Amino acid sequence: MSGTLSVASALFECFHHTEVLLRNSMMKRLATIHPLDYPWQQPLDSVVKASERRMDETTKVATPDAIISELTLGFWTNLLEQRPANEELWRRHLRHVFPGSPGTREAVHKAVTDMRNLRNRCAHQDSLLDFDPGIELKKLLSLVEWIDPEARSWLEGIESVSTTASERPVAPARDVVVVAATVEKKTIEMYERVSAYVCANDRSIAQVTHIGFYVSKQIEPYFPQIEERIVPARWSSDEVKRLSGSEIAADKRLAKVMGYGLKNGWASGAQVQVFLLSEKKSPLTTRRSKPIVHEKSGRGSAFVKNPRYFALSALVAADNTAHLG
């Protein structure tokens, strides 16, 4: 329990700095529409209530800064929602707040909403066992980078999530995640070609050490080790060129994965997380002599739709999926 609280506390510090950056950056842009009183001239209930809470006893007026500090993250998130009333606001103004983003309101709204949801989980003392703190931090850092790359560097320098998560007292008993390998995304082929697995950024996968693939009613007989998980701030051909020119080996490897992904089902601008994996022949990859067959058939018999977790030792020993429980 104390470990979860420590991780939540470390994440909260990052939430705080990200929220302040977000609201201040949005407000700075919104102020150019009407420098004196935007958006306070609008009859918004949240603004009215914030004004009432922070009204000065003498002047009977709340300052803009006081009102801004009272507004919730939900207020700023709502300005990014996909609705007609926000279209012009996004097109003419708010898109400039996120110059490093994929450029769509949907992508930005999703990233901000994901941050808000996880922040609420932490605030309500909900379980974080199904989340990898490191990857959630990387999602936050990508959002910060969309607004200001220098702010990302600063946050990376002060965050304590990485250290706290690494001090986890007990390793997870179920240290392998088995995912459904899809034909349309060519999951197995991607692993064989570039030793990686790519999934949508909003897929929550717990902190594990290995990954397994379920396809055609069987779990493949190899379990590569996860060498690194990355949340790319950008997913595009331009980013492939930039990373390819880097002198950092990890950047070049990510460029190779991204280039392959762009050609095989992952569109430019996609929000993804990348698992860099050990090669099939690597000693870091655990192998068995044959696949683990799923023999059950009929309606409702699918073994893996969402990620499932197992102990590596159980996967090595199982004759079929029935032995996995």
Q: Hey, which residues does 225 pair with through a beta bridge?
A: 210
Cα separation, 184 vs 273, whole angstroms: 17
Do 85 and 205 fall into the same domain?
no
Do 156 and 180 fall into the same domain?
no
Q: What φ, ψ does residue 246 adopt, rounded to 5°?
A: -75, 155
Do 225 and 162 fall into the same domain?
no
Name the one residue in this structure whose structure tokens are 């696949």.
291
Q: Identify the CA nearest to 22 among candidates 138, 113, 125.
A: 113
pLDDT at 41: 47
**pLDDT tier for residue 88 given thresholds of 50, 70 and 90:** confident
Cα separation, 134 vs 206, whole angstroms: 10
Domain termination residue (choose one: 137, 166, 195): 166
**pLDDT tier for residue 180 given thresholds of 50, 70 and 90:** confident
pLDDT at 204: 85
Let me know if residue 146 belongs to a domain.
yes
Domain termination residue (choose one: 108, 141, 166): 166
pLDDT digits over 125-168, tens only? 777 767 788 889 999 999 999 999 999 999 999 999 888 877 76
Q: Hey, which residues does 213 pair with through a beta bridge?
A: 179
Number of domains forming the structure of the chain: 2
pLDDT digits over 235-283, tens only? 999 999 999 999 999 999 999 999 999 999 899 999 999 999 999 999 9
Classify residue 54 by its DSSP letter.
Answer: T
Do 115 and 208 fall into the same domain?
no
Domain holding 40, by residue range, is: 2-166
Model pTM greater than 0.85? no
Cα separation, 320 vs 293, whole angstroms: 5
Q: What φ, ψ does residue 171 adopt, rounded to 5°?
A: -65, 150
Let me know if residue 17 belongs to a domain.
yes
Classify residue 310 by its DSSP letter.
Answer: E
User: In percent, how much of the chain has pLDDT > 70?
Assistant: 85
pLDDT at 1: 45
**Residue-by-residue DSSP string for 137-153:** HHHHHHHHHHH-HHHHH
Do 146 and 193 fall into the same domain?
no
Do 11 and 110 fall into the same domain?
yes
pLDDT at 57: 55
Do 158 and 181 fall into the same domain?
no
Domain termination residue (choose one: 129, 147, 166): 166
Stretch 17-33: mean pLDDT: 90
Contacts by residues 66-69 (CB-CB < 8 Å, ≥ 24 positions apart):
67/40, 68/23, 68/24, 68/27
